Amino acid sequence: MTASPNTQVGEFGQPAPGESFSPGVRAFRKIIRKPSVILSLAFLALIVLLAIFAPLVTRLSGWDPFTYDEAAVDPSSGGLPLAPLGGMSAEHWLGVEPQNGRDIFARIAYGARVSLLVGICATAITMLLGVVMGLLAGFFGGIVDAVISRLMDFLMAFPALIFMIAILSALPQGNRPALLVIVLSIFSWPATARVIRAQTMSLANREFVEAARTSGAGWAPLVFREVLPNLSGTIIVMATLAIPNFIATEAGLSFLGVGITPPNPSWGQMIASAVPWYSSDPMFFAIPGILLFLTVFAFTVLGDNLQKIFSGGFE
């Protein structure tokens, strides 16, 4: 059964003669026309490729993220890089860290792996939990809605950042990326569930759902075949906006010393290490800071434009 075609037409316009109606394709065609989106996608593709092929790229550069190059720093100046611009050279493409001479490009590449891994995995788990809980609460109502809603209220009552810091400080080192993903997801899914619950309650009494219910469909087909497809736009937008939020949160926790722990590289950890050197070696501070800002900004621009597309905000 086709779900709410009138709503889709209102959002994406009538298909051209001989063209099949595909909201996803039409949304992509609209969003790809904007220069800001093209630039954001190009930058994100570069970061993703850098993260995926970090071992290969660093092998080409000749340095891994853990090797010290004492010949690249000057002990007489307190360990500042010998070459200008933070030690940039043909050997060290983005310079070196003061005192130890570790290659910044290699640490940036492996730090991108951590940021994207935590951001994407935390988003996937948050969306899964939030969508399922929101669908169940909004569709069934009654005691199911009451129990899930009280659980959401309970988790949202915590000052999330403070409890994240406390929990991560108390937990053993272990696999820090996995611990970050779990902690971020636990405190983040209620916000997603609330949005999905509200939209599910609105859709549950729509004509196409009532028609499917009248034809004898059970609750599972009603939820997953009739209601869920109509939430796809909302889910995509929320996921796109969640990724930069998680990337920034991971960087903040690593900056505070409770996220990714040394010697494993992380952009937030690199920024924290660079703070004492910002006046004498500004490139050590600027490079991870700029890359973190641009990555979060690119995801935010993409998510904002997707939100406008799915809400019919621009032609």
**pLDDT tens sequence across 58-75:** 999 899 999 999 999 999
Is a pLDDT exceeding 50 seen at residue 233?
A: yes
Tokens (6 digits) for 173: 């080192």
Is a pLDDT exceeding 70 seen at residue 26?
A: no
The residue among 220, 224, 268 whose CA lies nearest residue 114 is 268
pLDDT digit string (tens) for 89-143? 999 999 999 999 999 999 999 999 999 999 999 999 999 999 999 999 999 999 9
Mean pLDDT of 247-253: 95
Give the pLDDT confidence score for residue 4 in this predicted structure: 43
User: Can you name the residues that pair with 81 across neighbouring β-strands?
Assistant: 73
Burial profile 260-289: b = 16 or more Cβ within 10 angstroms, e = fewer: beeebbbbbbbbbbbeebeeebebbbebbb
**Tokens 């009248």 found at:** 214
Sign of CA dihedral 86, 46, 310, 195: negative
Q: Round to whole Å and give the CA distance between 73 and 187.
A: 43
Mean pLDDT of 47-57: 95
Name the pTM for this structure. Answer: 0.86
Other CB atoms within 10 Å distance of the CB of residue 104: 27
Is a pLDDT exceeding 90 seen at residue 38?
A: yes
